């Protein structure tokens, strides 16, 4: 008998017997202990949902896609397994600590495919569901005609996280008509495309995504908490917490709980955890929004060099300064896959001013200082001069 799981976003989610062993595997259950929005609960107290919750939601939407598109049992199961496992390779604290992988030229998607190949329990469960691990990896790596449903501009991942993150934060930016988008979807050999009546729902999603990034994912206090945690984590990265160098069993043994415990138990990193426990977050003194073509520091060593320069001008220790650079990627052209609108042969041109505007990448740079360490107005004046020397015009 299929199992029913109650979900606040999608209602009852059906899990067939073939999927239960995958769902109950250690690799998937680990996702219960990885926050979907790491440390966002310091701003949105109820934003404590997990990657496991999100993965279930993606699987539910994949089932709706499969039913709507008339996929046969094999392809339908492949799509649901792919949606369920698309985040199985996440580091603890999701994208926050993925920087450790990115530094080595890797990603959570690549780690996920490695887990699928090398974790015997998971690989066996996948095969017993009637799904080929080889075909699953083709799907997750973008080489299958169904790949854009799992990873594309309007994939199940995006549809679920906008709805779920909106619900659990209480912010209403991410309310989109996911069912209309699914029902107005068609499939050909190139992947998904949408009939013209879907344009309004697609524009709605583009706006929701834009505001969710600005007001939830890149909220200045959320980033302050994340920067504080990351500063402590980097002190231990070289001492057994380099996720890019771990074996699959060691990688899967880590989650948010283990990392937090390690940081709290080490005398060098405990002060960072204590600051978080008291919600003493770094104070933002400058924020600048820049167009996507502007070059900004992104690599960790570049950011640290700028922090050192700012600290020197402020005459404070380097560790009291936090430089943050984030980018809101464009919706159009995501993963080199355009949004296609009927007819299937055409690509959507920016005839919609909403999609045109949201297709422009946006860069956000911020500077924070240790709370109570310097006068914020004096620090803002110093940072403004440094930014102006680089041609970064302050908008906030």
pTM of the model: 0.93
Contact assessment for residue 149 and residue 155, using Cβ atoms and an 8 Å cutoff:
yes
Instruction: Grade residue 348 by pLDDT with cuts at 50, 70 and 90.
Output: very low
Q: Helix, strand, coil: what percent of the chain each, to 5?
A: 55, 10, 35
* pLDDT the model gives residue 394: 55
* pLDDT the model gives residue 300: 86
Contact assessment for residue 156 and residue 140, using Cβ atoms and an 8 Å cutoff:
no
DSSP labels, 290-346: EETTS----SHHHHHHHHHHHHHHHTS-GGGEEEEEEEE--STTGGG----BSSTT-
Contact assessment for residue 55 and residue 86, using Cβ atoms and an 8 Å cutoff:
yes
Summarised one tens digit per residue, pLDDT across range 367-392 is: 999 999 899 999 999 999 999 999 88
Tell me the average pLDDT across 264-271: 96
Q: Tell me: pLDDT of 272 over 90.
A: yes
Give me the chain's average pLDDT, please.
91
Summarised one tens digit per residue, pLDDT across range 226-266 is: 999 999 999 998 788 999 999 999 999 999 999 999 999 99
Summarised one tens digit per residue, pLDDT across range 48-61 is: 999 999 999 999 99
Contact assessment for residue 188 and residue 142, using Cβ atoms and an 8 Å cutoff:
no
Tokens of 31: 């996702």
- Which domains can be identified in the chain, with CATH numbers? 3-184 (1.10.3210.10), 282-331+359-396 (3.30.70.2760)
Which region holds residue 362: left if phi is over 0, alpha if psi is between -120 and 50, else beta? beta
Q: Tell me: pLDDT of 276 over 50.
A: yes
Instruction: Grade residue 332 by pLDDT with cuts at 50, 70 and 90.
Output: low
Summarised one tens digit per residue, pLDDT across range 145-164 is: 999 999 988 899 999 999 99
Percent of the chain residues topping a pLDDT of 90: 77
């Amino acid at each position: 008998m299929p199992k029913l799981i109650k979900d606040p976003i999608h209602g009852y989610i059906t899990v067939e017997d073939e999927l239960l062993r995958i769902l109950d595997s250690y690799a998937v259950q680990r996702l219960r202990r990885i926050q979907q929005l790491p440390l966002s609960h310091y701003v949105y107290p109820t934003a404590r949902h997990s990657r496991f919750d999100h993965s279930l939601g993606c699987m539910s939407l994949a089932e709706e896609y499969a039913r709507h598109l008339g996929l046969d049992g094999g392809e339908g199961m492949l799509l649901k397994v792919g949606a369920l496992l698309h985040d199985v390779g996440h580091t603890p604290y999701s994208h926050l600590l993925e920087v450790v992988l990115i530094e080595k030229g890797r990603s959570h998607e690549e780690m996920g495919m490695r887990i699928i190949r090398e974790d015997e329990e998971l690989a066996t469960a996948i095969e017993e569901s009637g799904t080929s691990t080889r075909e699953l990896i083709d799907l997750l790596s973008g080489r299958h005609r169904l790949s854009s449903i799992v990873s594309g501009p309007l994939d199940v991942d995006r549809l679920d996280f906008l709805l779920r993150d909106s619900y659990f934060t209480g912010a209403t930016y991410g309310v989109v008509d996911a069912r209309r988008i699914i029902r107005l979807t068609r499939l050909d050999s190139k992947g998904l495309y949408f009939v013209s009546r879907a344009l309004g729902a697609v524009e709605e999603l583009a706006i929701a995504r834009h505001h969710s990034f600005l007001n939830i994912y890149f909220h200045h206090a959320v980033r302050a908490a994340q920067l504080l945690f990351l500063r402590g984590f980097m002190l231990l990265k070289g001492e057994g917490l380099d996720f890019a160098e771990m074996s699959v069993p060691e990688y899967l043994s880590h989650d948010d709980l283990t990392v937090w415990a390690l940081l709290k138990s080490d005398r060098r990193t405990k002060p960072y955890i204590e600051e978080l426990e008291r919600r003493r977050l770094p104070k933002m003194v400058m924020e600048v929004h820049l167009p996507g073509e502007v070059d900004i520091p992104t690599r960790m060593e570049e950011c640290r060099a700028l922090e050192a320069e700012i600290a020197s001008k402020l005459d404070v220790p380097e560790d009291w300064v936090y430089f943050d650079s984030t980018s809101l990627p464009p919706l159009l052209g995501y993963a080199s896959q355009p949004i296609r609108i009927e007819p299937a042969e055409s690509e959507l041109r920016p005839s919609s001013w909403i999609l045109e505007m949201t297709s422009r990448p946006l860069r956000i740079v911020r500077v924070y200082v240790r709370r109570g360490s310097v006068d914020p107005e004096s620090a803002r004046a110093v940072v403004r001069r440094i930014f102006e020397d680089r041609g970064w015009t302050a908008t906030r």
